[in-house]
Chains A and B, each alone.
Chain A
């Protein structure tokens, strides 16, 4: 599983995940992802478009980093999950507690409010 990030001018950090977020994949990105969201009052978009599979272990990692960010007054939104990944977010009802956005503009609005 791969992970890359970009910091945008408005302070939003975009993290792109790529690969299978199963037991192996989640373990591979867990530490890096945790350190990348360790920003005070940060706004983070986690782009899931290239995540081909998400299991409960991956959900656990997402919940943990989102909680850590929220405890520092930051926010995390999820962007562009594929249908099977969106299905997992819906079945676990994670989409009720972490915003899931279909496109980049919606993700930024969810984080920063209307432009």
Chain B
């Protein structure tokens, strides 16, 4: 697959429908986490800086996890980040065609009590779940969809 980023902007379904949906597809390589985070930041979503930081971290971690573990065939793959903004919240969905994986099922190691017993890895999903305690997960048409929502102010 050629390494391209693709944008899809969908208009509101009906006039007066305040939902706005946009998505972008990224090549699933080492550059994807940074590219996805930069794209998220480039959108005017109306989130507070704290929530935007949280959203950026979630996107980075979910995409990093996919790039590292979702595929084992060595072939080129792509992943899609979809953003849906309603009057009350911003929903971010990360979608891939990798192996079935519900991040809610991933074990989270208890925090280390000392540096000596701290393992270097395994904190990505712990971070996502500490920001978004319940992730919405769907497996449909051979694709994983993980959705996390962030409330807008007001």
Contact A97 B118 (CB under 8 A): yes
Interface residue? B113 (CB, 8 A): yes
Q: Is the CB of A84 within 8 A of B53?
A: yes
**Residues of B close to A63: CB separation below 8 A:** 115, 118-120
Q: Any chain B CB within 8 A of the CB of A57?
A: yes
Q: Which residues of A contact B116 (CB under 8 A)?
A: 67, 70
Whole-angstrom distance between the Cβ of A16 and the nearest chain B Cβ: 21
Q: Could you tell me if A67 and B118 are in contact, using CB atoms closer than 8 angstroms?
A: yes
Can you list 22 A-B contacts with CB-CB less than 8 angstroms, sorted by A residue number? A23-B30, A23-B33, A23-B64, A23-B67, A24-B30, A55-B60, A55-B64, A56-B121, A56-B126, A56-B127, A60-B123, A61-B120, A63-B120, A66-B115, A84-B57, A91-B126, A91-B131, A92-B111, A92-B126, A94-B118, A96-B113, A97-B113
Within 49-76 of B, Cβ neighbours of A (below 8 Å) are at 53, 56-57, 60-61, 64, 67-68
Residues of B within 8 A of A (CB): 30-31, 33-34, 37, 53, 56-57, 60-61, 64, 67-68, 111-116, 118-124, 126-127, 130-131
The interface of chain A, by Cβ under 8 A from chain B, is: 20, 22-25, 27, 53, 55-57, 59-61, 63-64, 66-67, 70, 84, 87-88, 91-94, 96-98
Inter-chain CA distance A22–B35, complex, in Å, is: 11
State in angstroms the CA–CA spacing of A63 and B122 once bound together: 12
Establish whether residues B123 and A53, one from each chain, have CB atoms under 8 Å apart when the complex forms: no
Other A-B pairs, 18, CB within 8 Å; known A61-B120, A66-B115, A93-B112? A20-B34, A22-B37, A22-B60, A22-B64, A23-B30, A24-B33, A27-B30, A53-B60, A55-B64, A55-B124, A56-B121, A56-B123, A57-B124, A60-B120, A84-B57, A91-B127, A92-B127, A97-B115
